[in-house]
Structure 1
Amino acid sequence: MARLAAALAAAMLLAGVALAAEQQKVLVLLDSPSLESSHSAFLAGLRSRGYALEVRPIDDKSLQLKSWDEWLYDKLVILGSSKALGGAIDAAQVVQFVDEGRDVLLAVDSDVSEELRSLAQDLGVDIDSRGNAVIDHFGYDSHVGAQDHAAVLADNFVKSAAVLPKALSTPVLFRGIGLSVAAESETAFLALAGSPTAYCGKPGAAMTDAKLAGPELGLVALVQMRNNARVAVAGSLHMFSDAAFQAEATARNDRVLGRASNEAFCTAISKWAFQEQGVLRASQLSHRVLAGAHPGAVKPERYRVNDDVEFSVVIQECADGGCKPYTAEDVQVELVMLDPYIRTSLKHDGQGRFATQVKVPDVYGVFKWVLEYRRLGYSFIELTETVPIRPFKHNEYERFIVQAYPYYASCASMMAGFLAVGAFFLYTKA
């Protein structure tokens, strides 16, 4: 009976997980009906991870993302090219979709429409001029053809375990258009960049100056929005295709490098975009008084100046349906009133709990605990907790303090002098 009960419990748990996964509805918009068969492996991979896919033409006049105030889908995949968005969907609604915490994966090619270029730009990624392509005269796939230098072998991957948990041993076969992100952007970064010899231009045309070239030329860009929604923009439809998944990467000297890493890379960026990896969860934020007016008090209404307090928080890293303790040496917390009065690093115990002990500053007012953690590839953590700091009450000062001993001595000497002079006048005969 015990084994039967355990089996039933496990089955119910798996059913619950499957139900939760089925609730993740994904709308897939295709520029051409043929993409459903030519990109079947990528779509099958999404289904195998538990998503319920609804595949529609990108220009379907009956398309809609929301009904009244309710979103109909949790994720959006656009495999687009020259066609514009149809139905009730437009670039502004997709941006609103992201602003409300939902995720988007956008893949385009050299024939990208102006609406999709505008959409990518609104999400923080610039796409090169229509008709241009990424070209590399040294890092091309010779298996495709010695004259086709637009079939690029790219291996300049982002150095982030949150995006690529496993190192890729072979390059990605890329055929498409270049991207760029602002150098000062705090939200967008390149997951795959061009080699030093790559540039973006017209295939077959001579180029003397390229607007996008080298490592600043983006092939795949990722955006971690401030609300922790995610966007992935790829400049190639071909890299998601079945042909690219099965292709052998061949260097220009006809040296076979092995199967291209397209399948592993595309799976990784889709997992990142759909928040299946690189997600940080913060919980159990707490602060307590160690020594002071109310020792042992947890989250007190206010501190007293010079109290000794402990701040702690639990951070977990979630990936592939599970969470584990996050470990890092660069998590910091600040105690702020207009400017930080205290900034200190948090130490972890290996179990996900980060904590530090500080002395409250000798300044009273309304302070805030502020924890902001932003690292490449990980979701943002922004926590605040308001706590006032009060001065000593009149009855909390020590009766006698060392610093006042000179004043005590002056009072005593004055009293002694008064008594001596009084005694002299009282008991001395004139």
Structure 2
Amino acid sequence: MRGRATLLACALWLTVTRVQAQKSDVLVILEDQQLKSTHSIFFGHLRQLGYQLDYRSADDKKLQLRDWDSWLYDKVICFAAAVPEFGGAADAQALLEFVDSGRDLLLATDSSASDELRELTAGVGVDLEPQGRAVIDHFSYALQSLTVDHTVVSGQAALAASAVLGGPIEAPVLFRGIGASVAPESELVLKVLTAGSTAISAVPGKPLTEAPTLAGNETTLTAAIQTRNNARVTVCGSIDLFSNEFFRWSPVVVTPGQRVGQSGNRAFATQLAEWTLQDRGRLRVSKVRHVLAGTSETPQRYRIRDQVDFSVDIHEWRKGSWQPFKADDVQLEFVMLHPYLRVNLAHNNKGTFSTRLSVPDVYGVFKFVLNYQRPGYSHLFVSEQAPVRPFKHDEYERFIPAAFPYYASTFSMMGGFFALTLLFLYHKRPLP
């Protein structure tokens, strides 16, 4: 009886430990501690997801991200702007090393962003506009805003960011802050929220004497970065976007004549945070299998022209559990220096992707390679070595149809030689 109680206690401890391991402490760096109350809805949503929030001031002299070689946090949220430098051992370089280690960062700033924050955003491929500039739109702005410079604008969620946001955001997303630019050739940075076609980046209250450096949809308001080591970084040019004020902004009236019951900021901000903190769009691979067709055998090496069945299980972390991943664009390559085969994998709606392929008529050391990279999803890379051998001497066909001309030439030569021999031995020329 005592043994059963011990086993039950151990099982309960393991279960609790496993659940706790799924959610880690989040370091929240705030420029002003009042943000805890002005942004309480956003932080409350994170606590509902199970995260433990550790609030620290940006200038805290004891602020640190790691203790020697051990990182103290897996995720960081930073709401700061005019901070000349972070306190303690935290700075732009330390946060970039934090991301390089595979951890996640959510950064929000505004028009007064300091050089320290600009160095940080530039390190992940997002260039903020010069200090003091803001996104202004004189044609599409919130009419209820008390400001006359039209800096509370309506952003447009990018269609390519549906995987990040979990779906389209129908209501306008209000934004007040600084714009940014993203290099067109960047493969890792995804524009999540952009300005409208009539927006510009300029200094509020000052006449525009020259063409703005950023205008229209080229003005990035929020960018998401998925690094090659599957770390996630989100850069937003507006701290107010996450505030209770913008969450509750109702009714939203955006010229010309668009009227919506409530802003889409709450849905946008919470979905964006869930993606950044790896609560959505995270994929895992398991049960990679390749066998001879019709068998359950995985040989040490395949033979040319063999039929091979390949399958793999892919699941997505969604709504607190691993669920079958569904996609029609997962591909498998059979590679030796370069792909000899590239085929689509079909799924059974239960997370299993499979295909049957024919080994090419080339022998050598091949690899099954699955390299899945899609915006908003963690990168998957699977590589399984599969040597391919030629036929053995007793595995070839007795007579190969393609060699019939050679067979005929051989036997014709033998017949001709035999006829010539008979002619030479038994044919006598008549005497003169």
**TM-score in terms of structure 1 length:** 0.90
User: Match of 2:191?
Assistant: 190
Cα separation, 2, equivalents of 1:389 and 1:17: 42
User: Match of 1:50?
Assistant: 50
User: Residues 142 and 253 of structure 1 are in contact (CA less than 8 Å); yes or no, is this contact kept in structure 2?
Assistant: no
Which runs of 5 or more structure 1 residues have no equivalent in the other structure? 1-7
User: Residues 143 and 250 of structure 1 are in contact (CA less than 8 Å); yes or no, is this contact kept in structure 2?
Assistant: yes
User: Match of 1:4?
Assistant: none
Cα separation, 2, equivalents of 1:345 and 1:255: 44
Aligned residue pair count: 419
Cα separation, 1, equivalents of 2:417 and 2:166: 85
Q: Secondary structure at the match of 1:163?
A: helix
The root-mean-square deviation of aligned C-alpha atoms, in Å, is: 2.6
1:166 shift after superposition:
4.0
User: Match of 2:343?
Assistant: 344
CA separation of 1:368 and 1:31: change in aligned 2, threshold 3 A: same
1:238 shift after superposition:
0.9
CA separation of 1:296 and 1:52: change in aligned 2, threshold 3 A: closer
User: Residues 161 and 190 of structure 2 are in contact (CA less than 8 Å); yes or no, is this contact kept in structure 1?
Assistant: no
User: Residues 146 and 252 of structure 1 are in contact (CA less than 8 Å); yes or no, is this contact kept in structure 2?
Assistant: no
Question: CA deviation digits over 1:347-381, x for unaligned, max 9?
Answer: 22222222222221222222222222221211111
User: Residues 161 and 191 of structure 2 are in contact (CA less than 8 Å); yes or no, is this contact kept in structure 1?
Assistant: no
> What amino acid does structure 2 have at the position aligned with 1:406?
P
Question: 1:101 aligned to 2:102?
Answer: yes
> What amino acid does structure 2 have at the position aligned with 1:47?
R
> What amino acid does structure 1 have at the position aligned with 2:329?
D
User: Match of 1:5?
Assistant: none
User: Match of 2:387?
Assistant: 388
Cα separation, 2, equivalents of 1:18 and 1:245: 30
**TM-score in terms of structure 2 length:** 0.90
> What amino acid does structure 2 have at the position aligned with 1:233?
V
User: Match of 1:315?
Assistant: 314
CA separation of 1:263 and 1:99: change in aligned 2, threshold 3 A: same
Cα separation, 1, equivalents of 2:198 and 2:110: 20
User: Match of 1:279?
Assistant: 282
CA separation of 1:277 and 1:138: change in aligned 2, threshold 3 A: same
User: Residues 135 and 199 of structure 2 are in contact (CA less than 8 Å); yes or no, is this contact kept in structure 1?
Assistant: yes
1:16 shift after superposition:
5.6
Cα separation, 2, equivalents of 1:422 and 1:353: 70
Which runs of 5 or more structure 2 residues have no equivalent in the other structure? 1-8
User: Match of 2:409?
Assistant: 410
1:335 shift after superposition:
1.4
Cα separation, 1, equivalents of 2:261 and 2:179: 25
CA separation of 1:410 and 1:255: change in aligned 2, threshold 3 A: closer
> What amino acid does structure 2 have at the position aligned with 1:131?
G
> What amino acid does structure 1 have at the position aligned with 2:261?
G
User: Residues 155 and 170 of structure 1 are in contact (CA less than 8 Å); yes or no, is this contact kept in structure 2?
Assistant: no
Question: CA deviation digits over 1:74-116, x for unaligned, max 9?
Answer: 1001001111211011111111111111100000011111011
Moved more, 157-166 or 234-243: 157-166
> What amino acid does structure 2 have at the position aligned with 1:375?
R
Moved more, 57-66 or 343-352: 343-352
Question: 1:240 aligned to 2:242?
Answer: yes
1:61 shift after superposition:
0.8
User: Match of 1:303?
Assistant: 302
Question: CA deviation digits over 1:109-134, x for unaligned, max 9?
Answer: 11111011110110121111111101
CA separation of 1:422 and 1:148: change in aligned 2, threshold 3 A: closer
Cα separation, 2, equivalents of 1:123 and 1:320: 28
User: Residues 158 and 190 of structure 1 are in contact (CA less than 8 Å); yes or no, is this contact kept in structure 2?
Assistant: no
Q: Secondary structure at the match of 1:263?
A: helix
> What amino acid does structure 1 have at the position aligned with 2:37?
S
> What amino acid does structure 1 have at the position aligned with 2:74?
D
Q: Secondary structure at the match of 1:92?
A: helix
User: Match of 2:264?
Assistant: 261
Cα separation, 2, equivalents of 1:313 and 1:321: 22
CA separation of 1:303 and 1:183: change in aligned 2, threshold 3 A: same
Cα separation, 2, equivalents of 1:428 and 1:257: 113
User: Match of 1:358?
Assistant: 357
Moved more, 163-172 or 265-274: 163-172
Moved more, 408-417 or 97-106: 408-417
Cα separation, 1, equivalents of 2:248 and 2:235: 22
User: Match of 2:212?
Assistant: 210
Cα separation, 2, equivalents of 1:411 and 1:368: 41
User: Residues 159 and 168 of structure 2 are in contact (CA less than 8 Å); yes or no, is this contact kept in structure 1?
Assistant: no
Percent identity between matched residues is 46
Question: CA deviation digits over 1:386-415, x for unaligned, max 9?
Answer: 222222222322222222233333333444
User: Residues 155 and 172 of structure 2 are in contact (CA less than 8 Å); yes or no, is this contact kept in structure 1?
Assistant: yes
Cα separation, 2, equivalents of 1:85 and 1:342: 52
> What amino acid does structure 1 have at the position aligned with 2:41?
A
User: Match of 1:199?
Assistant: 200
Q: Secondary structure at the match of 2:93?
A: helix
1:195 shift after superposition:
0.5
> What amino acid does structure 2 have at the position aligned with 1:357?
R
1:231 shift after superposition:
0.5
Q: Secondary structure at the match of 1:239?
A: helix
Moved more, 180-189 or 159-168: 159-168
> What amino acid does structure 2 have at the position aligned with 1:140?
Y
Cα separation, 1, equivalents of 2:409 and 2:19: 82
1:18 shift after superposition:
4.7
User: Residues 75 and 105 of structure 2 are in contact (CA less than 8 Å); yes or no, is this contact kept in structure 1?
Assistant: yes
Question: 1:123 aligned to 2:107?
Answer: no
User: Match of 1:32?
Assistant: 32
CA separation of 1:412 and 1:61: change in aligned 2, threshold 3 A: same
CA separation of 1:234 and 1:425: change in aligned 2, threshold 3 A: closer
> What amino acid does structure 1 have at the position aligned with 2:106?
L
Question: 1:224 aligned to 2:223?
Answer: no
Cα separation, 2, equivalents of 1:336 and 1:426: 62
User: Match of 2:6?
Assistant: none
> What amino acid does structure 2 have at the position aligned with 1:205?
K
